[in-house]
Structure 1
Amino acid sequence: MSDKRPSKNQRRDAAREKAKQFRVDQKKKERRNKVLLQGGVGLAAIGIVVVVALVIMNSIRPAVPGPANMASDGILLGEGMTAVTTSALQPEATPVASKPDATGTVANIRVYVDYLCPFCGDFETTNGEQIAKWVESGAATVEIHPIAILTGRSAGSQYSLRAANAAACVANYSPDDFYAFNSAMFVDQPEENTVGRSDADLQELVKNSGVSTSLSQIDTCITDETYKSWVIAATDRATGGPIANSPLEAIAQTPTVLVDGKQYQGSLGDPKEFAAFVLQSVGESYSTSTPTPSATPAG
């Protein structure tokens, strides 16, 4: 019986051939992996470029006109809480300062607010009602400037910016309801370093504050952040100054309250002190006139 087992040499040659084939297969595998890796890196790079492009496109949207009725960067309310209507401020245009009442009987009150600012809430809670009574009766005008200087203090939600945008939406579509909305924004006011109200919350607040016209347009305006670029520009103008109809160089804090161009620096929690300041400011501006606002807030 013959021995059919491979000889030693045959086994050695077979092992060499097998090793050779293994090296060939290994090199093919390495080349294939390299191609796949390069392709994957390329696709990842393309994906990153696409994402970055989308972020840039979404963050650098074309500037749009500001809201109607805020050509001064604020909304001016007069007797009966009726808004003074103005055309929308075009992008890059210079705001048109409101003309102060020149009769000598009307106090011109101007308030710069950030809806996340707790001190703004204190001022509104203390003085909002008496200011409303003065304006309703024609004893005063009030011009409210929503700005967003606390945008970075809302846990990444940009609440100040979104809230000021919501205010601009109301000013544009339902200006005579603006004061009621402005007051409602300080009821259960969100605290700093919280996310604040969502867009849905702001939409609900618009409705609950008594705004009854153009609700669908306002809802869309809030969701789309229509006036975001205007809020940023208006905030830059306020903090960069100068401040029209006032010796104030710039807005350094909120609330900043001006009466006939003079800055109120008294207590934010004492309505009598603010009423006395209004009376004094009007008296100084019009020394031959008798100002109408009472120094004692109505109960």
Structure 2
Amino acid sequence: MTNGGPGDSRPSKNQRRDAARKKATQLREEQKKKDRRNRVFLQGGIAVAAIAIVGIIALVIVNSIRPVGPGPANMASDGVLIGQGLNTVKTPALQPDAEPIASVPDSTGAVADIRVYIDYLCPYCGQFEQTNSEQIAKWVDTGAATVEIHPVSILTSKSAGTQYSLRAANAAACVANSAPNDFYAFNAALFKDQPQEGTAGLTDKEIKQVVRSSGVKSSLSKIDTCIDDLQYKSWVLAATDRALTGPIPNASIPKVTGTPTVLVNGKQYLGSLEDPKEFAAFVLQSAGATYSTSTPTPTPTPTPAG
């Protein structure tokens, strides 16, 4: 082995130590610079992501909070008033925050004034509808009665998160607005195969199919769009609140406390929901002695039980 002399070019132990320290210091400085760059990039990325999230949230809010538009035409009383020939009485649309205009009942008592507050998910409403829809239609068609149907959405939270009650009431408003003389048939069709409370109810696509199967033929595209957009959501909520808080005009009750709420000439029907004869008798009793005399309009009579 040869020992290095004065001319040996290899660094000494101290030189190697100094070089290692310098290298370590250099690596630390480079790592610090790299860490600073990474922090800047990370903070910048977080800021960009936050801006994007805020933008998305703002877009969702803007799209969900639409300006409140007018209510449906032909429902100025918050209900659809149907008269002789099953034709709907035409009324202008209520402007936002406008007070409903109560329908004026027949002052002579010759025509029975039937009003029904219904929720399309309410099973008791379905019972009343199945029992009495046919005989009510006959009375109204011949001019012996009028019927005013008020859709409300009390059971919106009872359809597995789909808000069927609200969507169905909105669809009813869509039909009342665009195809008013088909409203009675559509209303009956929604109860024909009524979904059970607690289920998801019908989809919007299925509700549109009910529109068509009930016989609506005009303004279908407009009605479809109205259903998809929940166009009358604000009106349904407001009308429901008005029914639940009152006052109920021309009525023996101050407010609606459940569905169905059925009024005949202002008096509340509290009888059987499954006996058409009992309801017909109540109509006759509420109408008073006018029905016992000869009048130009036919007298409501019970539909024979099948």
Give a deviation string over 1:224-266, Cα, whole Å, max 9, x none: 2221111111111111110111132111211111111111112
1:63 aligns with 2:68: yes
Distance 2:242 2:125 in 1: 19
Which of the numbers 82, 86, 91 marks the counterpart of 1:81? 86
Deviation at 1:121, TM superposition (A): 1.1
2:31 paired residue among 21, 26, 51: 26
Contact 1:105–1:289 under 8 Å retained in 2: no
Identity of aligned residues (%): 67
Per the alignment, residue 132 of structure 2 pairs with 127
d(CA) in 1 for partners of 2:146, 2:46 = 63
Q: Does 1:181 align with 2:186?
A: yes
CA distance in 2, matches of 1:225, 1:161: 9
Question: Could you say if the C-alpha distance between residues 282 and 9 of structure 1 is closer, same or farther in structure 2, counting changes exceeding 3 Å?
Answer: same
Q: Which residue of 1 aligns with 2:223?
A: 218
User: Residue 266 of structure 1 aligns with which residue?
Assistant: 271
Counterpart mapping for 1:1-299 below 5 A: 5-283=10-288, 292-295=299-302, 297=304
Q: Which moved more, 1:82-91 or 1:21-30?
A: 21-30
Greater Rg over alpha carbons, structure: 2
Segment of structure 1 superposing worse, 65-74 or 96-105: 96-105
Summarize the Cα distance change of 1:161–1:296 in structure 2 as closer, same or farther, 3 Å threshold: closer
| Deviation of 1:142 (Å) | 0.5
Q: Deviations over 1:87-146 (max 9, x none)?
A: 111111111100111232211111111111111111111111111111112111110011
**Deviation for aligned residue 1:281:** 1.2
Distance of 1:231 and 1:208 partners within structure 2: 24
In the TM superposition, what whole-angstrom CA distance separates every residue of 1:176-212 from its partner, at most 9, and x where no partner exists? Answer: 1101100110122122232222211111110111001
Is contact 2:280–2:300 with CA below 8 Å preserved after alignment? yes
Q: Where do 5+ consecutive residues of structure 2 fail to align?
A: none
Q: Distance in 1 between matches of 2:293 and 2:34?
A: 95
| C-alpha contact (below 8 Å) 1:246/1:261 kept by paired residues | yes
Query: CA–CA distance in 2 between the matches of 1:229 and 1:35?
Result: 47
Query: Using a 3 Å threshold, how does the CA distance of structure 1 residues 288 and 183 change in structure 2: closer, same or farther?
Result: closer
In the superposition, the TM-score normalised over structure 1's length comes to 0.92
Which range moves more in the overlay, 11-20 or 60-69? 11-20
Q: Does structure 1 retain, via aligned residues, the 8 Å contact 2:111–2:143?
A: yes
CA distance in 2: counterparts of 1:146 and 1:177, whole angstroms: 15
Distance 1:147 1:63 in 2: 18
Contact 2:78 2:239 in 1 (8 A): yes
Q: Which amino acid aligns with 2:299?
A: T
Amino acid at match of 1:218: I
User: Structure 1 residue 295: deviation in Å?
Assistant: 4.1
Distance 1:213 1:111, change over 3 A: same
Q: Distance in 2 between matches of 1:298 and 1:86?
A: 36
- Cα distance in structure 1, aligned partners of 2:11 and 2:225: 85
- Note the aligned Cα RMSD (angstroms): 2.1
Q: For 1:64 and 1:73, how far apart are their aligned partners in 2?
A: 15
